[in-house]
């Protein structure tokens, strides 16, 4: 399947999207999680597929997946068929890979960054939408007894993978990263720091307004703010964002 996805004769380009949050196991039933529903990534994948791109979708096993996240028990059978047809039309151009832990994530990130670097596709892009933990901890192999207890969880810092993607694994591919903050004024100063790490652009968003408002921050270009009507919009913000990303390549 991977070969077919990366063949030159199908699609307008190839995008590698990471989506969802990582899990750091504490024991077999407890973990430290980074929040992400994966809806952003799933929708980005759909709009790239609609634009006739091929998509490698690296996602947390439990997070939203393209088309599937639109299913609902209360939808009409006619609507079910429409969503299913959209999926069937696209599935030959969609390669879905799952991760849970940091180790899974980094392994697949390296693999598919290199796949993209070596692809003969004329248009390529990497979108790092996954929420990846900055910290890790040692996991116990069996469930910790609550009566034994543990009063602290000790954390170690995780080395950033971003420079490996941009400088080592996929140096010829434009890489875009995402910056989610709870305060808007933190986004731009933080985004700028990524340019030194080789990213082409940063998609900034605030947790509370992320479904209707995003900014595309690029080096030496004015920041583009995109916004839709939070309540009445018939389009999704990811539709605008994908068009914009394709146009700045």
Residues that bind a second copy (CB under 8 A): 23, 26, 28-37, 62, 67-68, 71-73, 77, 80-81, 83-84, 87, 131, 133-135, 141-143, 146, 149-155, 157, 180-183, 207
Other CB atoms within 10 Å distance of the CB of residue 207 = 10
Residue 115 or residue 130: which is nearer to a second copy going by CB?
Answer: 130
**Three-class SS of residue 144?**
coil
Least CB distance from residue 43 to a second copy, whole Å?
A: 15
The answer to whether residues 6 and 119 touch, using CB atoms and an 8 Å cutoff, is yes
Choose between 146 and 232: whose C-beta lies nearer to a second copy: 146
Question: CB of 222: closest distance to a second copy in angstroms?
Answer: 26
Closer residue to a second copy, CB minimum distance, 60 or 124: 60
Euclidean distance between CA atoms 193 and 233, whole angstroms: 33
Nearest Cα to Cα of residue 116 among 107, 106, 125: 125
| Cα dihedral 228→230→233→239 (10° resolution) | 50
> Closer to a second copy at the Cβ: 27 or 117?
27
Could you tell me which residues come within 8 angstroms of residue 226 by beta carbon, excluding any fewer than 6 positions away?
A: 213, 214, 215, 216, 237, 240, 241, 244
Pairing of strands 124-128, 23-27: unpaired
The CB-of-238 to a second copy minimum distance in angstroms stands at 19
In the complex, what is the shortest distance from the CB of residue 17 to a second copy, in angstroms, rounded to a whole number? 18
Comparing CB distances to a second copy, the nearer of 73 and 235 is 73
Q: What are phi and psi of 179, to 5 degrees?
A: -130, 105
Least Å distance, CB 81 to a second copy, is 5
The nearest distance, CB 83 to a second copy, in angstroms, is 7
Using the minimum distance from each CB to a second copy, give the nearer residue, 35 or 122: 35
């Amino acid at each position: 399947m991977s070969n077919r996805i990366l063949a030159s004769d199908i699609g307008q380009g190839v995008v590698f999207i990471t989506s969802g949050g990582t899990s750091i196991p504490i024991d077999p039933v407890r973990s430290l999680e980074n929040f992400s529903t994966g809806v952003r990534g799933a929708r980005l994948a759909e709009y790239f597929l609609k634009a006739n791109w091929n998509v490698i979708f690296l996602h947390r096993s439990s997070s939203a997946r393209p088309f599937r996240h639109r299913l609902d028990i209360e939808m009409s059978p006619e609507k079910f068929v429409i969503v299913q047809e959209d999926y069937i039309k696209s599935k030959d151009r969609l390669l879905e890979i799952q991760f849970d832990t940091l180790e899974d994530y980094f392994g697949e990130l390296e693999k598919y960054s290199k796949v993209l670097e070596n692809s003969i596709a004329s248009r390529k892009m990497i979108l790092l939408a996954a929420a990846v933990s900055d910290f890790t901890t040692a996991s116990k192999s069996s469930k910790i007894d609550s009566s034994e207890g543990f009063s602290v969880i000790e954390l170690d810092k995780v080395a950033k993978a971003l420079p490996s993607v941009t400088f080592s694994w996929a140096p010829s591919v434009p890489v875009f990263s995402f910056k989610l903050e709870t305060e808007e004024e933190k986004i731009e100063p933080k985004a700028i720091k990524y340019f030194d790490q080789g990213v082409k652009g940063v998609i900034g968003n605030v947790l509370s307004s992320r479904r209707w408002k995003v900014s595309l921050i690029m080096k030496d270009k004015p920041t583009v703010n995109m916004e839709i009507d939070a309540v009445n919009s018939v389009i999704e913000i990811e539709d605008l964002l994908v068009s914009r990303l394709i146009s700045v390549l």
